Structure 1
């Protein structure tokens, strides 16, 4: 029997087995999909709402999922959760696929106003501002990094909202969200988290990154809170529905309900017996407030919106972390690369064993000194597809990310930032209608203190890279060759060069907040119970109420705020 004949028989057998496997797998997948969309369809997902509910929760993002779940625990209270988007696709469950959600149907895909002090390397000097649109909100497209910040972050917060007050809620959130999650393991993580901090000037903290990844998949409040609740009879979830306006009684002091635009384009009114709770986020909550007539008098007047309540701070106090991306190539094969991600072995690890590179978010750890810090992202190669969603000018993108065309390049990406930025921007209106996006001006680097603070973060990163231990990896810090910075010494140690690169390449950390500030003062938008000042039956629970930034990622803090807010609404005593 010839070798060719044997080979042919073997190939036929292999193809037959493969075809049978594919056929059976296809049948299983089809049955699973049919079950998911028919038998397993949650009873809470509705097509048409009732005329009236006790609570209407606007926005099914990080906070909205928590609030809807907690309020619906009371069987005698009806709850409607309204979300402008629908479901995120299966790709969103893969932690490392987070950037692929940007610019799609599940992203509001906002852009900032033209920036004067920053974003000079971006098209029209406008930075992209991704915001999640769909069940789970931005929690379904973020990088899942967990943090509660520092105790001193909360010193300016109102009575009852100190770090000590929130500590019991932090503990609860950590349990429910499965913190610390699945970490990136390997030589790079061991080296970084094992560095001796006593060798650095000042009080340096290096920590292994924690996250909310569970069994290799994204775990957001959509999974932890909404899904366990979405077969309750008293909870209705209305997706693909845009809340167009908040409605008030004749005296314009009490909220009646909301006006909604349904998926078929029709408009309808839904009444609220107890409260309307805004959980639409740092951009959409102030936007909805203003188009409904609650906001700065001049802003409303200029857009011909009848004034319900003159609240001058609506849309003000906007802040965000701004990251300076620093690329460091490595000689040692210790990082995540696109080529490694795409190997059959890694794909099998993930889909069969829920492990491997794809089961992580790629974040190794964080380092901080004072109010300056950075995130160490252990991915050595960046895909040029990110250019389309980042809004970078092509030449600037390629200069900042030199491995864009090398899928096998070993390296790390350092995201240096000022943890407590002083610059404050605002959300204002384009027009009088919710259908037109608002104007977003984060005023990046407007305050010169933010430049100095970010430079300290860059210096800390360089100090760590230059340690004897890190040098074993063969690191080489890449200095972007940007035309307007070429006349300066090409080193991050030079403050003029680092400032130039900062103003050209720094990008949002996706941490907006503060645009409907909570406070005890008269100018605050909401009081310590998160009630909108001067308006009855209207409350805000989302990142817009943060008085000051969190020294880290704010997502877990927002979950804790929502937990405490639910206790406040339900008059449950504090958990202290």
Structure 2
């Protein structure tokens, strides 16, 4: 085992050094802004990356993109390691307040809410799962799509006998074994345009208003403060995400009057607009369901022994194939009538340290949820039962699918949580299943809707009562998509860019 650890560590170090020394230099990256721009985009995540590329396609239009972080690390390239960005990359490290009706199995009933602080944004920390039908709107996306590898587990999943569900293989945005973010697909190919300026490690602190317009955008880059003044035609577009966009507006005097008055004691802010900013947050919630398999029938899940095998790393490093080239989320089942989605995740033994650090789950809860996780050779898989509010029917759908996967002789592990001892431990017992959900269900890190209130945004995504301020990110999405919000944000940004291109004065 120690030889495997040493060999894998050496290969990982080599890859890290390679990526560090082969980073391209982009002409668009600046250390100081110019005085004026046609568009100022705040946030280089999914929406900001798409907009910066699309709007700067006209050389006569000058665009400034302000991003609080730097470039993503090499880890973001490796499909298998995508969740590790929540540990090893720069994030905003937000947490929820203690929950009253959920997260019983988490420390202080608090969930972590990591948000990406680098080019590509939070979408880059997720698995970049997409559906073919939803991204055919843009050829750049279609060309970057790869479908899941075939395996006995996936075949058995697709063939399961629940007629209510719509089953499909999974598709990811990646090429030659490397993940592709919206920054890779849209922003970086545009980052040598003279009319696109990108300020990295630059945090927008406050917007200043005059006559119902954003007059000044104040931001800080390291120890330097900058103020960019808008012209009559300048449009400011917020793409900071469902937490940072409303937070910036609150710090700028736009939000519920009661909240602004309460924060006056700690932050010097005058009330500009009394709007219900920051309300209406929604998120997908998931319940992990663990399944044992007959190891003589299927031996293709991720476990520690395979992860530390230099052979798999070498295969990925030299050919872009093998264990490391997949997210191992292989398939999905949609249940429209229940508002439920089931994901098939070929993970035999999750790592307790990484999982509990990212999620804030108690180790005792993890031990009950994922049996035999200390066995480095453990084979198995996880179903994620996902919906806006996890219900017993969603959990049962996942269990039914898994137990019907006879090709790998799958068998559901029913966790026996001590917090649920007052109920009979049975998957058919509503009280016990609901208790399971209260103990161990967790966020999917898909928050949306904090700017989507009808009293906050107009149909064209402009902030009500302000002429040149727009919001194009997850906070502007009113209802939680049944699948993945990143797709909806891409659509939103492309539509917004198309509308801007149709305006007088914007010509190709």
The TM-score, its normalising length taken from structure 1, stands at 0.80
Q: Which residue of 2 aligns with 1:457?
A: 394
CA distance in structure 2 between the aligned counterparts of 1:294 and 1:569, rounded to whole angstroms: 24
Q: Which residue of 2 aligns with 1:446?
A: none
- Asked if 1:499 is matched to 2:434, the reply is yes
- How far apart are residue 29 of structure 1 and its match? 9.6
Q: Which residue of 2 aligns with 1:298?
A: 258
- How far apart are residue 174 of structure 1 and its match? 6.3
Q: Which residue of 1 aligns with 2:222?
A: 263
CA distance in structure 2 between the aligned counterparts of 1:392 and 1:174, rounded to whole angstroms: 40
Q: Please say if residues 382 and 403 of structure 1, whose CA atoms lie closer than 8 Å, have aligned partners that are also in contact.
A: no
- Secondary structure of the residue aligned to 1:64 is helix
Q: Which residue of 1 aligns with 2:330?
A: 364
1:229 pairs with one of 190, 199, 202: 190
Q: Please say if residues 392 and 433 of structure 2, whose CA atoms lie closer than 8 Å, have aligned partners that are also in contact.
A: yes
- How far apart are residue 236 of structure 1 and its match? 0.7
- Secondary structure of the residue aligned to 1:502 is helix
- Secondary structure of the residue aligned to 1:116 is coil
Q: Which residue of 1 aligns with 2:86?
A: 102
2:30 pairs with one of 23, 42, 46: 46
- Asked if 1:183 is matched to 2:138, the reply is no
Unaligned runs of 5+ in 1: 1-21, 149-166, 422-449
Task: Give runs of aligned pairs for residues 326-365 of structure 1, distance below 5 A.
Answer: 326-331=289-294, 332=297, 333-365=299-331
Q: Which residue of 1 aligns with 2:6?
A: none
The TM-score, its normalising length taken from structure 2, stands at 0.90
CA distance in structure 2 between the aligned counterparts of 1:322 and 1:301, rounded to whole angstroms: 33
Q: Which residue of 2 aligns with 1:206?
A: 167
Moved more, 378-387 or 57-66: 378-387
Q: Which residue of 2 aligns with 1:526?
A: 457
CA distance in structure 1 between the aligned counterparts of 2:155 and 2:50, rounded to whole angstroms: 35
CA distance in structure 1 between the aligned counterparts of 2:487 and 2:18, rounded to whole angstroms: 36
Number of equivalent positions: 482
- Asked if 1:512 is matched to 2:496, the reply is no
Task: Give runs of aligned pairs for residues 132-281 of structure 1, distance below 5 A.
Answer: 132-147=116-131, 170-173=135-138, 175-176=140-141, 178=143, 180-198=145-163, 203-249=164-210, 251=211, 253-264=212-223, 266-273=224-231, 274-281=234-241
- How far apart are residue 361 of structure 1 and its match? 0.7
Alpha-carbon spacing, 1:32–1:357, altered in 2? closer, same or farther (3 Å)? closer
- How far apart are residue 297 of structure 1 and its match? 0.9
- Secondary structure of the residue aligned to 2:351 is coil
CA distance in structure 2 between the aligned counterparts of 1:191 and 1:174, rounded to whole angstroms: 32
- Asked if 1:75 is matched to 2:56, the reply is no
CA distance in structure 2 between the aligned counterparts of 1:291 and 1:336, rounded to whole angstroms: 44
Q: What CA RMSD, in Å, does the superposition of the two structures yield over aligned residues? A: 2.3
Larger radius of gyration: 1
- How far apart are residue 472 of structure 1 and its match? 3.6
Deviations 1:414-451 (A, max 9, x none): 11122xx3xxxxxxxxxxxxxxxxxxxxxxxxxxxx35
Deviations 1:144-163 (A, max 9, x none): 11148xxxxxxxxxxxxxxx
- How far apart are residue 43 of structure 1 and its match? 0.5
Q: Which residue of 1 aligns with 2:344?
A: 376
Alpha-carbon spacing, 1:205–1:307, altered in 2? closer, same or farther (3 Å)? same
Q: Please say if residues 257 and 269 of structure 1, whose CA atoms lie closer than 8 Å, have aligned partners that are also in contact.
A: yes
Moved more, 135-144 or 471-480: 471-480
Q: Please say if residues 197 and 206 of structure 1, whose CA atoms lie closer than 8 Å, have aligned partners that are also in contact.
A: no
- How far apart are residue 192 of structure 1 and its match? 1.2
- Secondary structure of the residue aligned to 1:172 is coil
Task: Give runs of aligned pairs for residues 399-410 of structure 1, distance below 5 A.
Answer: 399-410=368-379
Q: Please say if residues 382 and 404 of structure 1, whose CA atoms lie closer than 8 Å, have aligned partners that are also in contact.
A: yes
CA distance in structure 1 between the aligned counterparts of 2:254 and 2:117, rounded to whole angstroms: 23
Q: Please say if residues 141 and 173 of structure 2, whose CA atoms lie closer than 8 Å, have aligned partners that are also in contact.
A: no
- How far apart are residue 32 of structure 1 and its match? 8.0
CA distance in structure 2 between the aligned counterparts of 1:380 and 1:246, rounded to whole angstroms: 48
CA distance in structure 2 between the aligned counterparts of 1:318 and 1:356, rounded to whole angstroms: 39
- Asked if 1:560 is matched to 2:491, the reply is yes
Q: Which residue of 1 aligns with 2:7?
A: none
Alpha-carbon spacing, 1:31–1:540, altered in 2? closer, same or farther (3 Å)? closer
After TM superposition, which residue ranges in structure 1, 4 or more long, deviate above 6 angstroms? 28-32
Unaligned runs of 5+ in 2: 1-9
Deviations 1:527-572 (A, max 9, x none): 1111111111100000001110000111122111100111112226
1:311 pairs with one of 275, 279, 286: 275
1:548 pairs with one of 470, 475, 479: 479
Q: Please say if residues 170 and 557 of structure 1, whose CA atoms lie closer than 8 Å, have aligned partners that are also in contact.
A: no
Q: Which residue of 2 aligns with 1:436?
A: none
Q: Which residue of 1 aligns with 2:384?
A: 415
- Secondary structure of the residue aligned to 1:317 is coil
